[in-house]
Structure 1
């Protein structure tokens, strides 16, 4: 069974500082990705990303999660196609009062991939429905949410993987007969220096032109293999990241230090820790908004 099972888990701890307002955030996260080949070309996969943020000097906690399921079929050695579902949710705890779903979404779609040699290309289209408090507020807006995305990765050898992803999510508001696009693009790379050390990095940007809004994230990190010391496959990672939201020329910086403890599952594992900017870019979600939150 292990030959057909792959994936990994990353337990994360993060500390962030927001410039100019002297606010610190302490976060815990758990990220996982699993895939199982059940035979006859059919693979079943799942992913989950969950986080909790504590805001310093305020009785406020933020939390969120993303859960995804997918089924794919290998049409040939090169082509595969499938369907997927994702549920994303953001909530808060304010002064002991829980707001379990400030915003939520359910995303459904189809995806496909093409592999030739060291190059893998992917594409998807999806639709989403919104929920939570924001979804309730928009109930009369006749809102349709559509997304499409492209991804590519190139692994010329077992040490190096580079790739990128791009997503456009369109919010079509029927009540005012107008639509708004949110565009995401990211580039990332992972390189095994030797059997012990791995370096990884990524750069992404999310844009909304009508609001003159850009959110840029850059992350650089290193991972160290603990297998020899721990007696089981395991690695520890450290990443430094900066996220800069820019609204109409006015920006702030959110500087983050991330620690991660990663445990591979099965025979094929992810190269970068699952709580890293690089992994979010190389293994994107199916919506520009949820993808931006993952990069953060």
Structure 2
């Protein structure tokens, strides 16, 4: 009789311990699909969710300025968090209206859902698109226009003429940067000059900038020990905490079973 009571109490302890600490994935799934849920007012994105969306766009459309931003941030961890937060990179890709033909497939299922206008997720309002960075189509047009007029410029070798979609399969921002730094007074460069005046992001605006020879990360910047650019580390912390609690509960159950068998 005492053995049965002992086992029942242990089972109850295990169930209550696990149910009291639901996994972070449950909270994430709510806010990633229904960002108007009240719980989303304190939600922070799992870094992997944002990195996956960025990767899905950039693996087929690496010529987009947001992908150039992602590459620059991945290569140099010392760059400002303001520009390199994964949500900022995704926002840069998904809010460029001229580029929707190549981004909608991903953005309509990710950023367009969890950062919709009525979203309660705080970082959607604070980590916005890179200010002044044009769409990929606008950059391609500017580069092509410059090189039609000044074909001998060195950076005209970077990009071919845009294809039927309006893009060049190249690092369009690199070409734009080089051309407008060489001749900043060209009529195609006011947007570049304004962007760099407002946000002097070194990889895009500084002629002498050289990225580290060895990339510091393989994708969007990873969370730092003291808290990442958008609170992304909290998802892993919550998951780890739940695992620890579940492990502890299993240990208690094992002890209970041993005690029961000894009676």
Q: Which structure's CA Rg is the greater one? A: 2
Q: Please indicate the TM-score interval, normalised by the length of the shorter structure.
A: under 0.3
Tell me the TM-score normalized by structure 1.
Answer: 0.20
Structure ranking higher on relative contact order (CA contacts 8 Å, 6+ apart): 2
Flag the structure with higher helix content: 2
Flag the structure with higher strand content: 1
Tell me the TM-score normalized by structure 2.
Answer: 0.22
